Structure 1
Amino acid sequence: MHVLALVTQKGGSGKSTLAVALAVAAMRDGERVALIEADVQGTVSRWQERRDNPYPRVERVAEPADIDAVLARLAAEGIWLAIIDTAATNNVLALRAIATADLCLIPARPSPADIEAAIPTLLAIRRQKRRFAFVLNQTPPRGVRLSEAATSLNALGVLALPFIGQRNDHQDALGTGLAVTEYARGGKAAEEVHALWSWVAKKLAEEAFGHDQAAIKKAS
């Protein structure tokens, strides 16, 4: 089972919206997906309550040990991907989510405050030697600020593509219990999310290949 964690200390970065969108995009590819909510705000749980479709399922956790227990149960049930949505604080739950993740995504809006706020999260990820990528989220269509933010994040590490634009479809979808790829299937927001999921899926496949190669080398 793959584990994807969305982490950053900055509130309003769009972690929950991205978690939901990526989960449903993965489901559309035929994958078995679950969301783990490690955020007391409960944005993902409330989204699930508004949703007619029971999938992706949502598991809430309150303690670091809960994450390990839920992940073990999901793996035993054949879930292919678990996506962990974390709170906007560098708390013990977020740190445990980082430790269990195959890939950490750090959403950041194209502003100096967001990029500065991402640094402590990046340091925590590097201390635990986890793979990561930044996601530029809620971006304007173009401009110097966007270009400068992309340059800054590229200098700090890997930057996922494409950028996710600031579009009303994301919030409108969340309010109706849908992902943006369900709410406006032919829209630009849905197109960006599908492309981002393709990028993430490729990175997860690379991670799995690396583990397989390491196992083969160890066995030989």
Structure 2
Amino acid sequence: MRIITFVTQKGGAGKTTLAINCAIAAELKKHRVLILDLDPQASSEGWYQDREADSPKLVKIDSWSLPDAIAKANSAGFDLVIIDTPGRDEPSTTAAIRCADFCIIPCRPTPVDLRAVPPTVATINRLSKSAVFVLTQTPPRGERLREAEAGLSMLGIVSPVRIVTRAAYQDALGAGLGVMEYEPEGKAATEIRQLWNWIEKKMEKIAYDSEKTHIA
């Protein structure tokens, strides 16, 4: 079982939207997925209440119950746990990073969002976790986007797949769906599909490198 924590200490970066859509992308590839919602705003839980499908499963928890929830997920045979964290620095965020095999840091290409990144990266590095950046709510192209990618690349790996600002993301969430369900052939669905394929390859490489190092 793998654990992915979606984390950013800046609200409004599209963290919950990304977490939900990645969970559905994993489900569509036949993984059993559990979403753990640690965010007091409970946006993931609200989406789950509107959802008609039985999966992916979602549980709203507090940080103190995180280890127990992960142990139960492992015993229940889940392949993947996705943790949606608060959009600010607090103990539950650190706890979720500590439990993770892999962290995803959503970031909008704005000066305010970029300035909020270093504390998140510092916590991830302190806990020796692997992480990547995903640019969210972006324009299709432009100088600001290139500058944001250049700035983030100085701190870590940046996904080549960007999440462009599209109405489909919010429309899907409002319907209790992911974009791959709401508009399977749409541009948003293509972005999520490409992003999830890239994330899976990154996780596999990290696991392979870790195993190779351990054997050596």
Contact 1:2 1:204 in 2 (8 A): no
Q: Show CA shifts across 1:98-126 (max 9, x none).
A: 01111111100001110111111011101
Aligned to 1:79: 78
Which whole-Å deviations, capped at 9, do the CAs of 1:143-190 have from their partners, x for residues lacking one? 111110011111111101201100000000000000011111101010
CA deviation after TM superposition for structure 1 residue 211, in Å: 4.0
Q: Does 1:49 align with 2:58?
A: no
- The letter of the residue matching 1:115 is L
1:47-68 deviation per Cα after TM superposition (whole angstroms, max 9, x unaligned): 01100001000011113x3111
Provide the rounded CA distance (Å) in 2 between the counterparts of 1:30 and 1:214.
Answer: 30
Counterpart Cα distance in 2 of 1:215 and 1:60: 35
Consecutive unaligned residues in structure 2, runs of 5 or more: none
Q: 2: distance between equivalents of 1:143 and 1:207?
A: 31
- For 1:1-220, list aligned pairs within 5 A: 1-63=1-63, 65-217=64-216
TM-score by length of 2: 0.97
C-alpha separation in 2, matches of 1:214 and 1:76: 28
- Alpha-carbon deviations, 1:181-202, whole Å to 9, x = none? 1111101010000000001111
- Cα deviations across residues 50-96 of structure 1 (Å, max 9, x unaligned)? 00001000011113x31111111101111111000000111111001
CA RMSD of aligned residues (A): 1.1
Equivalent-residue separation in structure 2 for 1:120 and 1:139 (angstroms): 22
Q: Which whole-Å CA distance do the structure 1 matches of 2:120 and 2:127 have between them?
A: 11
**In the aligned structure 1, how far is the partner of 2:45 from the partner of 2:213?**
37
Query: Distance in 2 between the 1:48 and 1:126 partners?
Result: 32
Contact between 1:4 and 1:101, CA under 8 Å: does it hold in 2?
Answer: yes
